[in-house]
């Protein structure tokens, strides 16, 4: 049986700041972004009985944050439509960006290519440890046993792999955080 309360604590720990950052990109109000994220967590908690915990709950949370951000933008558009044309234009553009799934697909493919390029640029031993951890979902002790290396060596190689990603993808970090946060949050 799944400990739902523990799962939500982990979800909060892993996704709260990323979700606030995501919402803030569109609503441009940090306090409002925090409210949107809190409301999104509350919505998930209220729906916990109907959630499939075998699915990516983090992605569901981000979609909830997206929808709530979109609702806030729509409400703001209605309010400022006549009074401030510049603000209306900005809100309309943010609304279009949130609603445009095609740009997300292009960004996702582009980032997937960048991640693959980063992986290919790593020394083989470092790449192997990263793939075993992230793709095969092996723990550090399992990797250590499989490769016949010390736990410290596994930790070192993983830190080197993450350093490569941080360096090569630093310009894309805002984009990487959301579409690929599950890829980097395993540990």
SS3 readout for 111-178:
HHHHHHHHHHHCCHHHHHHHHHHHCCCCCHHHHHHHHCCCHHHHHHHHHHHHHHHHHHCHHHHHHHHC
Q: Do residues 29 and 44 both lie within one domain? A: yes
Does pTM surpass 0.85?
Answer: no
* Domain termination residue (choose one: 78, 99, 120): 99
Q: Do residues 92 and 110 both lie within one domain? A: no
Q: Do residues 94 and 119 both lie within one domain? A: no
Q: Do residues 95 and 146 both lie within one domain? A: no
pLDDT by residue for the chain (187 residues), tens digit each?
A: 578 888 888 889 988 988 998 888 888 888 999 999 999 999 988 888 887 777 778 888 888 998 898 888 777 766 665 555 555 556 566 556 666 554 454 455 666 677 778 888 889 999 899 888 877 778 889 999 999 999 999 999 988 888 887 777 665 554 444 444 444 444 4
* Domain termination residue (choose one: 99, 125, 143): 99
């Amino acid at each position: 049986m799944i400990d739902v309360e523990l799962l939500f604590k982990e979800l909060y720990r892993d996704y709260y700041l990323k979700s606030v950052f995501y919402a803030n990109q569109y609503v441009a109000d940090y306090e409002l972004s925090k409210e949107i994220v809190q409301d999104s967590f509350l919505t998930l908690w209220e729906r916990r009985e109907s959630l499939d915990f075998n699915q990516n709950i983090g992605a569901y949370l981000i979609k909830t944050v997206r929808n709530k951000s979109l609702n806030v933008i729509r409400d703001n558009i209605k309010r400022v439509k006549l009074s401030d044309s510049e603000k209306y234009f900005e809100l309309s553009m943010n609304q279009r960006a949130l609603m445009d799934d095609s740009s997300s697909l292009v960004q996702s493919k582009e980032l997937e290519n960048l991640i693959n390029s980063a992986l290919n640029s790593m020394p083989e031993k470092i790449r192997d440890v990263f793939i075993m951890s992230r793709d095969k979902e092996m723990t550090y002790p399992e990797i250590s046993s499989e490769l016949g290396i010390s736990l410290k060596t596994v930790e070192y190689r993983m830190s080197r792999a993450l350093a490569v990603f941080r360096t090569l993808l630093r310009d894309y970090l805002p984009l990487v955080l959301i579409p690929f946060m599950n890829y980097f949050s395993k540990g």
